[in-house]
A and B are shown apart, each in its own frame.
Chain A
Amino acid sequence: MGRYIFRRVLQAVGTLLLVMLLLHLLTTVAIQLNGNPAQAFFGDKVASPAQIAVVEQRFNLDDPCFDQVGNPCLGPFVERLGQYAQGDFGTNLRGREVSDIVATAAPNTLRLFCVVLVTWLALGMVLGSVAARWRGSPGDHGIRLTSVLIDAFPVFVLLIVYRYVVAVPLSRWAEETFGEDSWPPYWFKPSFDPEHPWATVLVPGILLGLAGSAAFIRLVRAGQLESYQGDHVRTARSKGLGERHVVVHHVVRNSSVPVVTAVGLTFTEALGGAVITEGLMNIYGMGGVLWGAVRDDDVGLVLGIVTLLAAVTVVVMIVVDIAYALLDPRIRYE
């Protein structure tokens, strides 16, 4: 098991380096083709060549390779890796430390993800299990239809409808009913409030979770149906065990392997969804910051955050793999 984890961590580090290289190459090509992002620093103002040169130097964009289309610019890449290794992630265009920005933004994203994860697990496990247990019943058909409907609504449509149609009346109603200082009005606030991070992240998180849960419900259902048909379930029943015991220990437990895998995959997918959600709901999180950074041509910030998100993804994958090995003894010693 220890060796297995060690090998997975090594692979993860390799993957991360590869992702960073790819990211670097993409931004390099973008700079080479689109012109120097140092110009973005000045916004609409016209800067003198001397001013631009100073900015270029400050953001490590002064290497001549950025003017040569096709040059992979490995020099600045290695230099940046060295800075990252020392914990220096650079600054954004306004001079604020990237690590500082991340320290403020990341907790909000984590909050969002907690809500999303709970929504997934609750909806997916409950509805998926019910659908599998009573396969072919009206409940099963209803759940499957619902999951298709959810899939048909992209998350941003869901959010826009919520924000512009539902949120304001709901929040006003909650204020009148429960008073201004109570929790409910915050739940339905149409935008994020840093004073009440949990309350204002709840509904966007549930909506984002709802969008991801559709595939999840179907996966849980399919996984459990397969388990129900397994010989080992028949064996468990032949021992005279109660149906609830059989379902928990032989159906849900056995179908948890694909479910955990799916949680990992959907989680990384939700990183993209989080950009939209945070952007739309004004949540000051990683997605929102990335959204702004891309809009402002803030290369340093984009690189820093995408690297961080890639690292998170890789870590989640390792956790999933380890969970996988813990849940299924057959793959432990491979």
Chain B
Amino acid sequence: MSRTRSAAEEKTVNKDESCAPPPLLEVTDLSVEFRTPAGQVRAVDGLSYRVEAGRTLAIVGESGSGKSVSSLAVLGLLPDTATVTAGTARLDGVDLLALSRKEHRARCGDQVAMVFQDALAALNPVHTVGYQLTEALRARRGMSRADARKRAVELLDLVKVPNAKARVKEYPHEFSGGMRQRVMIASALSLDPAVLIADEPTTALDVTVQAQVLRLLAEIQAERQMGLVLITHDLGVVAGVADDVTVMYAGRAVEQAPVVPAYTAPAHPYTRALLRSIPSASGTGRLSVIPGRPPSLAARPSGCPFHPRCDAARDVCRTEVPPAAVPAKGRMSACHFASDIMAGQEPAPDGADEHSTGRTTAAGNAAATAFDRGDDRGDSGGDHG
């Protein structure tokens, strides 16, 4: 039901937004459920985002927040125990999730490609790097062996692996971690995808190598005007390379905003807490941490899923799921007190609840048309239907 509604809404809003560049990839109201012994568990709940050419969207969240699962869903690579229960993923006007498995697969690599986290495991240990770089070109585009070899060297050069000519004959285990991740990136680029999804591409690397790999990704993206989705749990990584950020918590987007405003004035207590827990070189005293642990998806807290760990929780947070508020143009925050948090104020203490809830909802309605990166319609429509 929520699926049809969000599709209808999308049409009307798209008209209003004709000035915005068309998105390369637009995910709307995506929900993914896992079959577990404890029953169906929703790992991604009404996630929406869009990626435009030449822009980088960072999806940030703790482990288990659904950020990787959502991108696997876009590529049709979910494990057998998971199913997409709602939503669309439009790529070049085609809803990937509505395609047959075979047609979906044919668009992977070609239009949307993925860079995986642990390159040592993600590359096949028994094939040479050169083989893996051009495997898709050979199998799908019928490239000859000689051309493929040449192309493999070019791809390695592209990701700045030194001595590419000799190294295409080597195996993944003969590469260092950083070089391996470069190989991974080169292999994802082999079919010239329009959108690249990088799932924690730098997690397994040490800090200096991390910076190099991120810079490389940014350069390639700028040069090819690709859309880049950067999945990470590290807000520090986001600051340097992303244009927009989506913060996920317990399967939902809790805040979506351009990077700079999200950093200077976060509109969700979770984002605020994440930013406070980034260690800084000049910092003195204790590093602030977020108390508690992310909720188990099987036993989601009532109301706002973040309320047990939130330092600004009020009574309403325990009972009501916050709607997607629009505290400012181009921003979304799933918090009852989004405007207060963004303004740097603590929400009014309990007892003044009615007033503040009313205000955010009103603001949300008023700003719905002004919200030009409108990623949250599915969210609010789905949850409060």
Contact = CB atoms under 8 A, between A and B. Distances in A.
A160 interface: no
A240 B173 contact: no
A27 to B, nearest CB: 45
B352 interface: no
Given A232-B124, A328-B126, A330-B171, A238 B75 contact: yes
Nearest to A237: B77
A328 B171 CA distance: 10
A254 B126 contact: yes
16 contacts: A231-B122, A232-B121, A232-B122, A232-B123, A235-B184, A238-B77, A238-B114, A240-B106, A240-B107, A240-B108, A241-B135, A241-B136, A242-B105, A254-B125, A328-B126, A330-B173
A250 B106 contact: no
B235 interface: no
Interface in A232-278: 232, 234-243, 245, 249-250, 253-254, 257
Contacts of B359: none
Nearest to A326: B126
Interface of B: 75, 77, 105-110, 113-114, 116, 118, 121-127, 135-136, 139-140, 171, 173, 184, 187-188, 190-191
Contacts of B75: 237-238
Contacts of B108: 237-240
Q: Is the interface of A mostly helix, strand, loop or mixed?
A: helix
Interface string A114-135: 0000000000000000000000
B112 to A, nearest CB: 9
Interface in A184-234: 230-232, 234
Given A234-B116, A240-B136, A241-B136, A253 B105 contact: no
B254 to A, nearest CB: 28
Contacts of A327: 126
A64 interface: no
Contacts of A230: 121
B307 to A, nearest CB: 35
A329 interface: yes
A245 to B, nearest CB: 5
A245 B190 CA distance: 17
Contact of B135 (A234, A236, A328): A236
Contact of A239 (B121, B126, B191): B191
A231 to B, nearest CB: 4
A238 B126 contact: no
B139 A245 contact: yes
Contacts of A253: 126-127
Contacts of B107: 240
A250 B139 CA distance: 13
Given A238-B75, A238-B114, A231 B106 contact: no
Nearest to A329: B171
Contact of A329 (B113, B125, B136, B191): B125
Contacts of B136: 239-241
- Centre residue among B105, B118, B191 by max chain A CB count within 10 A: B105
B113 A238 contact: yes
Given A245-B139, A329-B171, A330-B173, A240 B109 contact: yes
B125 A239 contact: no
B53 to A, nearest CB: 21
A270 to B, nearest CB: 27
Nearest to B75: A238
Contact of B116 (A235, A240, A243, A328): A235
B105 A240 contact: yes
Contact of B124 (A235, A237, A238, A243): A235
B118 A231 contact: yes
Contacts of B106: 240
- Centre residue among A235, A237, A238, A241 by max chain B CB count within 10 A: A238
- Centre residue among B105, B108, B124, B136 by max chain A CB count within 10 A: B124
Interface string A28-47: 00000000000000000000
A232 B187 CA distance: 12
A241 B196 CA distance: 17
A234 B77 contact: yes
Contacts of B77: 234, 237-238
